[in-house]
Amino acid sequence: MTALSGKQPSLQERHYPFMPSKEELKAKVCLEIDKRSSEIIEMAKNIGENPETGFREVKTARLVAEKFAALGLTYGDGLALTGVKAVLPCTGEGPTVAVLGELDSLIVPDHPLADPKTGAAHACGHHGQIGMLIGSAIGILGARIADYLSGRIVFMAVPAEEYIEIGFRDELRKSGKITYLAGKQELIKLGQFDDIDMAMMTHSLSIPGDKKIVVGGTSNGMVAKQVRFIGRSAHAGSSPHQGINALNAAMIALNAINSQRETFRDQDAIRVHPIITRGGETVNIVPADVRMETYVRGRTMNAIQSANGKVDRCLRAGALAVGGKVGITTLPGYSPMMNNEILQDVYYKNAVLLLGESAIIQSYGHMAGSTDMGDVSQIMPAIHSYAGGTSGITHGNDFLIRDYEQAVLVPAKIMAMTVIDLLADGAAKAREIKENSTPLLSKEQYISSMNGLLREAEYAD
């Protein structure tokens, strides 16, 4: 007969008798974020007032690097031109969890916070994301919780999520400065995701009603296209018959693309939305060099490829009609987003802990926009959630963060709490996610599929 009764202490309790619970760690982190809330909000606002577009986020990256240094984090910068990545090793061994934030802005010249010289403006709320990233780093480091976790935490500010200024970026590609036109794609290729096992981020969004966080859902993938119609210049008044009008070729192509829309199936969520980036030189010359950019988005890569073939046909039809030429560069765009269910569930439960169930939308269904977080989600467990606290139309000239507590501090807390759930208890949850998730593609398969999408061709009649 034994005198011992009751529960035996666990291995962890014997080795770390004063190990705080996950709930205690979460409370400490949230307290730290609250204590330094004005510093975090100030940083987000500062970036909001100093917008920079993708691969040009020099000042924004410097601010992030300075903050990482002040937190005592070891970091690398200049990654994919402007990315900044800090690594925090925890006490025990375990997987590496990354928290990401996007550095870049859009170009919306009539936005109230637009840069007067460049027209750059944060009309997608990425300044809030950097606030969240720094907020979660401040919470985790300030509360000194890494001693109780296993694995590593990566805080990474990533460049160029908005797939814009395609001409400028394609020049960067041609000069060998980048291989792909978006930040996370380029970081994957450069090996900056090689030491990461799973990744999360939260994006700003205009969320309808009184909801505050959206988790789940899928989003479109896409290819991007740069198109150049080549004609012949001539006097527009006295001798247009000697010219070949490249603008007319472009307009015929646009109409031809519009004629395809009835063939796009609803379930494929195809979006084709070209813009003309150059329409001619002077009004008295027949336009000889007209340029367009477009995406072809869709729910699956097969649907995208099918629609892309139709778009190419239409572009060639424009050139054929006027007797000109068309150069078409098709660039690998984004992969469809797939949220990892287990990781998402951890995030969701922390959102519920902070805000209650009624404030969360658990699945938004399919979104026809695209993100290069989709690319990350092809090669590792990843989640891309959304936080409210904004007003106006996303990508519109009225999109603003109105409530920084909701848009920045709350998601910073949720992500820091999620890191705790993943890496506490010897990183049991992170290990479970790794063991139960098979990425759709290896990094090598991803790179080869990206390279397979690149096409450069010139067509004449």
Nearer to Zn ion, 124 or 380 (CB): 124
Residues 6+ apart with CB under 8 A from 36: 138, 142
Nearer to Zn ion, 54 or 274 (CB): 54
Nearer to Zn ion, 65 or 124 (CB): 124
49 burial class (0-12, 13-18, 19+ CB within 10 angstroms)?
exposed
DSSP H/E element including 387: strand 382-387
For Zn ion, which stretch binds (CB under 5 A), given 123-131, 137-145, 220-228, 341-349? 123-131
Residues 305-324 that bind Zn ion (CB under 5 A): none
C-alpha angle 122-388-156 in degrees, rounded to nearest 5? 60
Residues 238-257 that bind Zn ion (CB under 5 A): none
Concatenated DSSP letters of 46-74:
HHHHS--BTT--HHHHHHHHHHHHHTT-E
The tokens 């009751």 sit on which residue?
6
For Zn ion, which stretch binds (CB under 5 A), given 2-10, 89-97, 124-132, 380-388? 124-132
Nearer to Zn ion, 113 or 124 (CB): 124
For Zn ion, which stretch binds (CB under 5 A), given 50-58, 120-128, 208-216, 292-300? 120-128
x-or-dash string of contact with Zn ion, 389-428, rule CB under 5 A? ----------------------------------------
Closest to 202 (Cα-Cα) out of 396, 44, 92, 322:
44
8 Å CB contact between 66 and 86: no
**Smallest distance from Zn ion to CB 64, Å:** 17
8 Å CB contact between 204 and 386: yes
Instruction: Report the alpha-carbon distance of residue 254 to residue 439 in Å, rounded.
Output: 38
Nearer to Zn ion, 124 or 250 (CB): 124
Nearer to Zn ion, 130 or 253 (CB): 130
Residue 101: beta bridge partners?
157
8 Å CB contact between 441 and 378: yes
Nearer to Zn ion, 140 or 407 (CB): 407
Nearer to Zn ion, 124 or 222 (CB): 124
For Zn ion, which stretch binds (CB under 5 A), given 23-31, 122-130, 212-220, 305-313? 122-130
Instruction: Report the alpha-carbon distance of residue 406 to residue 420 in Å, rounded.
Output: 21
Instruction: Report the alpha-carbon distance of residue 182 to residue 357 in Å, rounded.
Output: 35
Instruction: Report the alpha-carbon distance of residue 246 to residue 406 in Å, rounded.
Output: 49
**Smallest distance from Zn ion to CB 186, Å:** 17
8 Å CB contact between 350 and 424: no
Which one-letter amino acid corresponds to residue 151?
Answer: G
**Smallest distance from Zn ion to CB 205, Å:** 9
Residues 57-86 that bind Zn ion (CB under 5 A): none
Q: Using DSSP, state whether 279 is helix, strand or coil.
A: coil
Strands 275-278 and 289-298: antiparallel
Strands 213-214 and 360-361: parallel
**Smallest distance from Zn ion to CB 123, Å:** 8
**Smallest distance from Zn ion to CB 143, Å:** 29
Nearer to Zn ion, 40 or 387 (CB): 387
**Smallest distance from Zn ion to CB 395, Å:** 6
x-or-dash string of contact with Zn ion, 335-354, rule CB under 5 A? --------------------
**Smallest distance from Zn ion to CB 182, Å:** 11
For Zn ion, which stretch binds (CB under 5 A), given 29-37, 121-129, 330-338, 426-434? 121-129
**Smallest distance from Zn ion to CB 106, Å:** 6
124, 196, 207, 296: which one binds Zn ion (CB under 5 A)? 124
Nearer to Zn ion, 125 or 287 (CB): 125
Residue closest to Zn ion, measured at CB:
124
Instruction: Report the alpha-carbon distance of residue 191 to residue 443 in Å, rounded.
Output: 9
Which residues lie near Zn ion (CB under 5 A)? 124
